[in-house]
Amino acid sequence: MKTRKLIRPLTAALVGGLIAAAAAPAIGEVSFKGQTFKVNIGFHPGGGYDAYGRLLVRNISKYLPGNPTVLAVNFPGAGSLRLANYIYNRAPKNGLEVGIFASSVAFGPLYLVKQAKFKTEKFTWILNIDQSIGTCTAWHTSGVKSFEDLKKSEVIYGSSSPGSVASQHPRGFNALFGTKIKIINGYPGSTGVLLAMKRGEVQGGCGFALSSLKARRRQEWKSGKLRILIQTGKKKSPELAGVPHLYDMAKDDHERQVMDLIYGLHTFGRPVAAPPGMPKEVTKVLRTAFMAVMKDPVLLKQAKRQHLPINPWNGERLQKEIAAFVNYPESVIARARQAMNPGKINKVKLKQLAGGTISKKTKKRITVTDASGKSYVFKISGRRTKVKIAGKKAKTKALKVGMVCDYKYFAVKDLAPRISCK
């Protein structure tokens, strides 16, 4: 009896091991034929991450074994933290999903961000598309003309969430240089912050990568309406001649290392990650494919047309560089954590309209008429607009002409994130 009891678990373990070995893909056997490959983008459409993500989507299929269908999926939330958590904890480990999210979010655990449910170095890092050069800006009507002006009196900056670069970078300025920036969180990405600048609700914003300015904000930048006050990140750009470089302000090596942990993350400009614990051969296939597409003539031509710099690192190098950041001296990490403490979190106050009747509706906009006959146009989004009808959650497609609703919105012709109908 004892022998049988011993043999059974040994047999089970042996069979289990054989099954596991059979299930693991061998070299040359990985294929995504007939399947859907998802490139998840941690931000709303319209920004730099979205531009890079869709550039990959248009060109990566022919480099993946089996040439799968490739989809772009916008997966916004908390400055892309929502996507980072998904990739680490819930995305399948079969190689069919990757994510592009902010490097500042990827290092959330380093700053003791409770919502960051992952270990940075444990992601399967696939590619870094570009080593970004970051900027902080002010709108031309703000009265802010230089970085030194940020120290003179309170200046309002916009951000999507406390975990985003747009919030972290000005907090770092306040802690290290004595600037007086008040941060208002809750805007829908960099596009929302820019619209708030134009409306005069905020005076500036941080976290605009130079690549995004060239690709998406070129008109505002080149016209002088969007002023660049300082360039962040470890590299200087010849395109920003005359604009102060943050690292030139460092007093010593210790402060320079602290800056690395706050601003040097731009080095990991557009990182692509997959879940931890993937089979080695699947990891190799993805890293090889994504590095190969970086040299694709069609992709490079499209990138040039869109003003998107391509300066990649392969996954192996990215993994090593990230490990080095995570292992900085404790005194440096402690100082960076202190600087990154969000303190009191200020949220944008939405405008409200009660009892407005929907008079016209398209997929992305609604026209609403109030009791006096005045019309309002609001943007709506399947992901960003939360709808309730008769107290129950609903989708935006359930909104109909003639419905009487209450609206919370950023501004006329901007997003309405809350709609409640009778």
Whether residue 136 contacts residue 206, with contact meaning beta carbons closer than 8 Å, is answered with yes
Region 30-36 average pLDDT:
97
Q: How confident is the model at residue 3 (pLDDT cuts 50, 70, 90)?
A: very low
Residue 139's pLDDT is what? 98
> Of residues 156 and 2, which shows the higher confidence score?
156
- From the options 3.40.50.300, 2.40.50.140, 3.40.50.720, 3.40.190.150, give the CATH code of 36-131+266-332: 3.40.190.150
Give Cβ neighbours of residue 225 (< 8 Å, ≥ 6 apart).
Answer: 139, 140
Region 319-328 average pLDDT:
89
Region 114-121 average pLDDT:
95
> Of residues 377 and 2, which shows the higher confidence score?
377
How many other C-beta atoms can be found within 10 angstroms of the C-beta atom of residue 4? 7
DSSP letters of 40-73?
A: EESS-TTSHHHHHHHHHHHHSGGGSTT--EEEEE
Q: Cα–Cα distance between 237 and 132 in angstroms, integer? A: 10
**Where in the chain is CATH 3.40.190.10?**
134-261+339-347
Residue 28's pLDDT is what? 60
- Strands 36-41, 97-100: pairing is parallel
Whether residue 91 contacts residue 97, with contact meaning beta carbons closer than 8 Å, is answered with yes
How many other C-beta atoms can be found within 10 angstroms of the C-beta atom of residue 249? 15
**Where in the chain is CATH 3.40.190.150?**
36-131+266-332
**Where in the chain is CATH 2.40.50.140?**
351-421
Q: 134-261+339-347, what's its fold?
A: D-Maltodextrin-Binding Protein; domain 2 (3.40.190)
For residue 8, is pLDDT > 50? no
What are the pLDDT digits (tens) for 195-205? Answer: 999 999 999 99
Write down the CATH number for the domain with range 351-421.
2.40.50.140
Strand order in the sheet with 97-100: 69-74, 36-41, 97-100, 271-274, 124-128, 313-314
The string over 260-289, giving b where at least 16 C-beta atoms fall within 10 Å of a residue's C-beta and e elsewhere, is bbbbbbbbbbbbbbbbeebbebbbebbbbb
Could you tell me which residues are beta bridge partners of residue 139? 226
Question: To 5 degrees, how large is the angle CA 294–CA 296–CA 300?
Answer: 75
Whether residue 406 contacts residue 355, with contact meaning beta carbons closer than 8 Å, is answered with yes
Residue 85's pLDDT is what? 98
Residue 9's pLDDT is what? 39
Residue 2's pLDDT is what? 39
For residue 22, is pLDDT > 60? no
Q: What percent of the chain has pLDDT over 70?
A: 93
What are the pLDDT digits (tens) for 250-300? Answer: 999 999 999 999 998 878 889 999 999 999 999 999 999 999 999 999 999
Region 317-327 average pLDDT:
90
Residue 333's pLDDT is what? 93
> Of residues 9 and 235, which shows the higher confidence score?
235
For residue 14, is pLDDT > 70? no
Q: Cα–Cα distance between 126 and 270 in angstroms, integer? A: 11
Whether residue 41 contacts residue 100, with contact meaning beta carbons closer than 8 Å, is answered with yes
For residue 210, is pLDDT > 70? yes
Q: Give the total residue count for the chain.
A: 422
Question: To 5 degrees, how large is the angle CA 293–CA 296–CA 299?
Answer: 90
Question: To 5 degrees, how large is the angle CA 104–CA 107–CA 111?
Answer: 100
For residue 12, is pLDDT > 70? no
Does an H or E element contain 16, and which?
A: helix 2-23
Report which DSSP code applies to 230: E
DSSP letters of 349-387?
A: --EEEEEEEEEEE-SSEEEEE-TTS-EEEEE--TTT-EE
Q: What is the dihedral of CA 6, 8, 10, 15, to 10 degrees?
A: 180
Q: Which one-letter amino acid corresponds to residue 247?
A: Y
Average pLDDT, the chain: 91
Region 57-63 average pLDDT:
98
Question: To 5 degrees, how large is the angle CA 380–CA 384–CA 159?
Answer: 115
Residue 16's pLDDT is what? 43
